[in-house]
Chains A and B, each alone.
Chain A
Amino acid sequence: LAKTTQPISMDSYEGQEVNITCSHNNIATNDYITWYQQFPSQGPRFIIQGYKTKVTNEVASLFIPADRKSSTLSLPRVSLSDTAVYYCLVGGSTSGTYKYIFGTGTRLKVLA
C-alpha cells in the first residue's frame, strides 16, 4: 500500500500562495490522490482529488506530475482560517474494496 510523506509543518502569511508537496513513491495504478483539511476537534474534510495532471476547484489546485510519485496541493491567497492540518491520502479500489491510509499530515499556520 502506498505510504505518503509530507512536511510536518509550514508557516505562511495571509494573502500568500501555499504549496504543500506529498511524496508517494509506491502509488499503484488504480490509486487516486486526495487531500483533506482538518481543524481541531473536527473530522477531516475533503478538499480535492485527482488522478493525474492538474485539478482545480473553488478552494485549491492539485498538481500531479506524469510519474505520479508526488503531488502538490496549492492554496491560493491563504487566510487565517486556512490554519489547519492538511493530509495527503493515496488510495483506491482494489477488487472493490478501499483501504485509506493517512500520513501524519502537514500543520499549516497562517500568520497575519
Chain B
Amino acid sequence: DVKVTQSSRYLVKRTGEKVFLECVQDMDHENMFWYRQDPGLGLRLIYFSYDVKMKEKGDIPEGYSVSREKKERFSLILESASTNQTSMYLCASVRGGESNTEAFFGQGTRLTVV
C-alpha cells in the first residue's frame, strides 16, 4: 500500500528556531511537494521537487527552503521560525512519467511557533 510519512504529527517550536519537517515516501515517486494549509486559504504550494537535488519554488517559498538528497525523502526547512509560519504542513508525492497521476499525501504536521 502506498505510503507518505511525515515525521511529526504535532510540533511546537520557538520563534527563531531552525525547524526541519521530514517527509518520506515508499513508492519510488519522482515528484514530491510541500504545502501549507491555513483556514480559508486552501492548500498553498511552498516548494516541489521533480528529482533528487532538484527543487522549484511554489507560490509561497519565502522563509522556507527544501532539501532532496535521496529520492524517497523531501525535507522542508524553516530557517528561522516565525509565528506566521504556524500552520498545517502537508507533504505529497506523485509518480513521474508522461501521463498524469494522483498525488498521495501524508497525514500532515501541525506546527505551532510560539
Contact = CB atoms under 8 A, between A and B. Distances in A.
A31 B43 CA distance: 19
A49 B102 contact: yes
Interface stretch (A10-18, A76-84, A92-100): A92-100
A45 B100 CA distance: 16
Given A98-B48, A100-B92, A93 B100 contact: yes
A7 B106 CA distance: 26
A87 B100 contact: no
Given A92-B100, A99-B58, A43 B31 contact: no
A29 interface: no
B87 interface: no
Given A32-B100, A92-B100, A100-B103, 7 more contacts: A36-B103, A44-B90, A93-B98, A96-B50, A99-B45, A99-B56, A105-B42
Interface of A: 30-32, 34, 36, 41-46, 49, 51, 87, 89, 91-93, 96-105
Interface of B: 4, 31, 33, 35, 40-45, 48, 50, 56, 58-59, 90, 92, 94, 96-108, 110
12 contacts: A34-B100, A41-B110, A42-B107, A43-B108, A49-B100, A87-B42, A87-B43, A98-B48, A98-B96, A100-B33, A101-B59, A103-B42
